[in-house]
Amino acid sequence: MKKILLTAGALLAWTSCAVAGAGGQTVAIPVEDYKAILERLDTLQKRVDQMERAESPSGKATAAAMPSKLAKDVETIYDTLDKVETKTLKDRINLGAELRTRADFFKLKNDANFGGAGSVEHNDNHWTNRFRLNLDSEIRKNLLFTGRITAYKNFANSDNNAFANDSNAAHLPGDSGLKLDRAYVDWIPEGMPIPLALTFGRHPSSEGPPSELKENRLRQSTYPSLLFDGEADGVVATIGLERYLGWKNSGIRFAWGKAYQDTNTSVSYMDNAGGMYDDTNIYAMFFETEIPGVRDSLLVLSALQAADLVGDGTYVGGTGKADIGDMTLYGLHVQANNVVDSGFDLFFSSGLNKTDPSGNTVTDAYGRPTGLMNTGANTDEHSGWAIHTGLRYNIPYKPWNNPKVGFEYNHGSDNWFSFTWGSAELYNKLATRGDAYDFYYIQPFNENLFGRLGYTHIDYNYTNSGMHLGDFGDSIAELDNLYFLLDVRF
């Protein structure tokens, strides 16, 4: 039996060090390390041979003949192999991780869904954990991979959020399973007449500008967060324009993705037979550049259309699905960091949305036909708008690791709608039809750990914030939230 184990060990060493090229890749270790492994295995084999010659007539090895160091030597061999394999993995892909623990203290007043005028609802102890595993690799000089896997859950809770879907599964707390947040490849073809990059996979489409200010990190997404904040699958083509315009970091992006794909659950490659609805496709175009003459700045112009939005009556107790129409959004985002070396980071975003109802409806919980921002048989077109602005000040006080303080404000009109279902805030702040005020203080403890203390107040002037189904009404609801979080990144 020992011969089998040692032979397997030798084969494993030889396979790990010499035969990895069978898959098109070669793993290399220093020659002296390879020889040392083989010499150690040869020594162990000789010891086993001595043990077998010293066996008693009963076929059992005597205790005196069994070297006490044998088990430790075997462990050393396998530890060496594990280190070689781990180093090889790290050479090919970079790994990082994040852990966030957050406590929120909510108070909701006058909400129609929780008792109406005069009602007050509390959640004074809402705790969540969010774990992220970050991956990236330079496969080749013109082929890059980036990925992020997330587990996000409430403390001691396995219930899923009723509004969770494929565009926000990694950004709303649910069960403790891992969700694919992003996984995409950037390919820069060689020999092209124009600077071109193709991005395909699960997009970097969540936590876009200016979210990085509040999140205390570098820019995370292509798209400004006022219009789109969530997880999306598709393809993006980026054309670099800096050589033509002379503006730093300028380019134009053309994006296509699917927000909903109609699939037969029993035959996964077929559409549902006789369905009343098509796939929801998203088409978008973005122009971005650094503002000429303004260091560390960003200007983004956006246009986006979601074609064949699907209405699903089951989310409010009704039945059936239907194509309810198209939604078009336009946006402007301007941002500048450390303006004239003042320590202030400033931003301003604006958005416009316009509906094009198809006339199809689904049935809501009250038996009413409901369409794209309409209730009943109405097929009216609607337009809405929103702004989002704010600032952050970097306090130059090194004994406290240069903390930061920030304020944000956003306002949405009665018919405002944005695709921000994956918002980091549980109440989808940027979809507010009304006014939202957000204050926060960031305290870095070291380069890996920081805390954030924040307070948010929202006045909901109209109902159905964040919903594209049904009409709206006046509202006097208010939300207050005080929270604290700790974030570790390594």
Per-residue pLDDT of the chain (490 residues; tens, 9 = 90+): 444 334 444 434 443 444 333 344 555 566 666 677 777 777 776 766 666 565 545 444 444 444 555 556 556 655 655 665 555 555 678 999 999 999 999 999 998 878 788 889 988 889 999 999 999 999 998 999 999 999 999 888 766 666 667 677 777 787 788 999 999 999 999 999 999 999 999 988 999 999 999 999 999 998 999 999 988 899 999 999 999 999 999 999 999 998 878 765 555 565 655 555 678 899 999 999 999 999 999 999 999 999 988 887 544 444 467 789 999 999 999 999 999 999 999 999 999 999 999 988 888 777 788 889 988 878 899 999 999 999 999 999 999 999 999 999 999 999 999 999 888 888 899 999 999 999 999 999 999 999 999 999 999 999 999 988 888 899 999 999 999 999 999 9
Domain 99-489: assigned CATH number: 2.40.160.10
Closest alpha carbon to 103 in 362, 434, 393, 485: 485
Strands (E) across 313-359 are located at 321-336, 344-357
Element (H or E) spanning 96, and its range? strand 94-109
Question: In a 3-state reduction of DSSP, which class is residue 229?
Answer: coil
Bridge partners (DSSP) listed for residue 439: 407, 455
Residues of the chain with CATH 2.40.160.10: 99-489
Polymer length in residues for the chain: 490
Neighbours of 410 (CB within 10 A): 23
Closest alpha carbon to 422 in 231, 181, 254, 216: 231
Q: How far, rounded to the nearest angstrom, does the alpha carbon of residue 453 sit from its chain's CA centroid? A: 22
DSSP character for 293?
T
Question: In a 3-state reduction of DSSP, which class is residue 409?
Answer: strand
How many Å apart are CA 198 and CA 455, to the nearest integer? 40
The predicted model scores a pTM of 0.79
CB 364 within 8 A of CB 374: no
DSSP string, 146-192: EEEEEEEEETT--PPPTT--TTTTTTS-B-SS-EEEEEEEEE--TT-
